[in-house]
Amino acid sequence: MIVCTLGDLVLDVIVRLHGPLAAGDDVGARTELRAGGQAANVAAWVAALGARARWIGRRGSDGGAARAEAQLAARGVSLLGPRQGRGGVVVSLVGPDRDRSMASDRGSAAMLDADDLQAAWFADCDWLHVSGYALSQPGGAAAAAAAASFARRAGARVSFDAASAALIGSVGAAAFAARVRAVDPVLVFATVGEVDALGGPWPGATTVVKRGADGCTIVDAGRREELPAVPAQAVDATGAGDAFAAGFLVGGPALALQAGARCVATVGAMP
């Protein structure tokens, strides 16, 4: 199986706080630098779970981007797309309660455009997984629609992750929905908040609602299935939804839940 992912590759700055942030003061923390980005995370987990993975997007050409690229390649992922401009950086603050908040700078990834793609990159893939972050800009939305067209022509199925309720709100629900319709996924991953922002389960597709420690809900043509999470000692929730999506694409719901549990038990978004 070959899974292609379309979207961001960034440098994750993971800050594990030893206590609550104090306004105007200092708090101890442990900081790590790791490759990240939703599409890159999914690709890394696809490779770790035994399938072939190909990341496609626009990469930065600076030192941070080179570090992220090297880490992703070392995990067995092929990388395709132009190198240009500044690499993206995401700062993830992990609190004492293991929950996390993020501040995102997508860098050159935000400049992705349909002209960056080649049809041959999608000719042999079984799944194309599109990150919702690619739909945040008109150029990226055009690239996602083009990639989905290339993939479907080659017989692949298309999945989509809604990525962020705040992102949907910033684009506008109607505009974002139009961009998703152009991608035309058969499988949609979303959190409860993202499903609400989309106006409900995606019509004509299987919608997988990611519920974190509460497992997931699968909604398909009126059928609704609730599945519990796999027990795990949570250390860092960063990337758990991406691990879950990779597991679902490679092996279905059981592998998805196992991958999510494996992810939260370690620091960082990648295996």
Give the residue numbers marked as catalytic. Answer: 242
How far, in Å, CA of 177 to CA of 65, rounded? 31
Q: Identify the three-state secondary structure at position 250.
A: helix
Strand partners, 56: 6, 80
The alpha carbon of residue 150 and the mean position of all alpha carbons in its chain are separated, in whole angstroms, by 20
Contacts for 266 with CB less than 8 Å, ≥ 6 apart? 235, 236
How far, in Å, CA of 45 to CA of 43, rounded? 5
Contact 152, 158 (CB under 8 A): yes
Q: Identify the three-state secondary structure at position 203.
A: coil
